[in-house]
Amino acid sequence: MLKNFHDGLATASCMTSQKVTWQKVASLDVLRDGEAIGIDIAGTTIALFRLGDEVHATSGICSHEFGVLADGFIEPADGTVECPLHQALFDIRTGKAQCAPATADLNVYPVRIDGSDILIDAACVQRANEATLATTAAPAAAREPAAVPGLAGAGHGRIQNANPASDGAATFTRQYVWPDDDLSVIPDWVYTDKLVYDREVERIFHGRTWNYVALEAELPSTGDFIRSNVGPTPVVVARAADGSINVFENRCMHRAAEFCRELSGTAKEFICPYHQWTYDLRGNLIGIPFRRGIGGKGGMPADFKLQDHNLRRLNVTSHRGVVFASYADEIESFADYLGPEVLREFEATFDGRKLNVLGHYRHSLPGNWKLYHENLKDPYHATLLHTFLVTFGLLVAGNRSLMLTDGSGRHGVMASAKSDAKSVSGDAKKEMRNFQEGFTLREPRLMDYVEEFDSPWSVTMATIWPNLILQREMNTLGIRQIVPTGPHEFIMKWTMFGFEGDDEAMTRHRLRQGNLMGPAGFLGLEDNEAIKFVQDGMQRVPGGKHLVKLDPQTPAGTTDTLISEAAIRAMYRHWRHEMGL
Neighbours of 354 (CB within 10 A): 11
Candidates 2.60.40.10, 3.50.50.60, 2.102.10.10, 3.40.50.11540; CATH matching 211-318: 2.102.10.10
Q: What are the extents of the domains in the chain?
A: 5-175, 211-318, 340-579
Contact 404, 462 (CB under 8 A): no
**What is the Cβ-side half-sphere exposure of residue 416, based on CA atoms within 13 angstroms?**
28
Cα 354 from Cα 478, distance rounded (Å): 14
Q: Bridge partners of 247?
A: 237
Q: What is the pLDDT along the chain (581 residues), one digit of tens a residue?
A: 222 223 333 333 464 456 788 999 988 888 989 999 999 887 788 999 999 989 999 999 888 777 889 988 899 988 999 888 778 899 999 999 998 788 889 999 999 998 888 999 888 888 877 665 554 334 433 333 333 333 333 345 655 543 433 455 666 666 788 988 999 999 999 999 999 999 999 999 999 999 999 999 999 999 999 999 999 999 999 999 999 999 999 999 999 999 999 999 999 999 999 999 999 999 999 999 999 999 989 999 999 999 999 999 999 999 999 999 999 999 999 999 999 999 999 999 999 999 999 999 999 999 999 999 999 998 776 666 656 655 655 555 566 889 999 999 999 999 988 755 455 545 544 444 444 456 667 777 878 889 999 999 988 999 999 999 999 988 999 999 999 999 999 999 999 999 999 999 999 999 998 888 777 777 767 788 889 999 999 988 877 999 999 999 999 999 988 889 999 999 999 999 999 98
Return the DSSP state at 313.
B
- State residue 127 phi and psi, 5-degree precision: -65, -40
The pLDDT of residue 288 = 96
Q: Taking the model in full, what pTM does it have? A: 0.70
Contact 288, 177 (CB under 8 A): no
The pLDDT of residue 518 = 74
**Upstream peptide bond of 101 is cis (omega within 30 degrees of 0):** yes
The architecture of the domain spanning 340-579 is Alpha-Beta Complex (3.90)
129 sits in which H/E element? helix 122-134
Cα 250 from Cα 257, distance rounded (Å): 8
Cα 438 from Cα 386, distance rounded (Å): 16
Closest listed residue to residue 545, CA positions, set 195, 183, 203 = 183
The reply to whether 211-318 shares the fold of 5-175 is yes
To the question of domain 5-175 being in CATH 1.10.10.10, the answer is no
- State residue 552 phi and psi, 5-degree precision: -65, -20
Closest listed residue to residue 468, CA positions, set 457, 482, 489 = 482
Sequential DSSP letters for 474-538: TTEEEEEEEEEEETTEEEEEEEEEEETT--HHHHHHHHHHGGGSSTTSTTHHHHHHHHHHHHHHH
- State residue 529 phi and psi, 5-degree precision: -65, -45
Neighbours of 413 (CB within 10 A): 27
Cα 319 from Cα 335, distance rounded (Å): 8
The pLDDT of residue 489 = 97
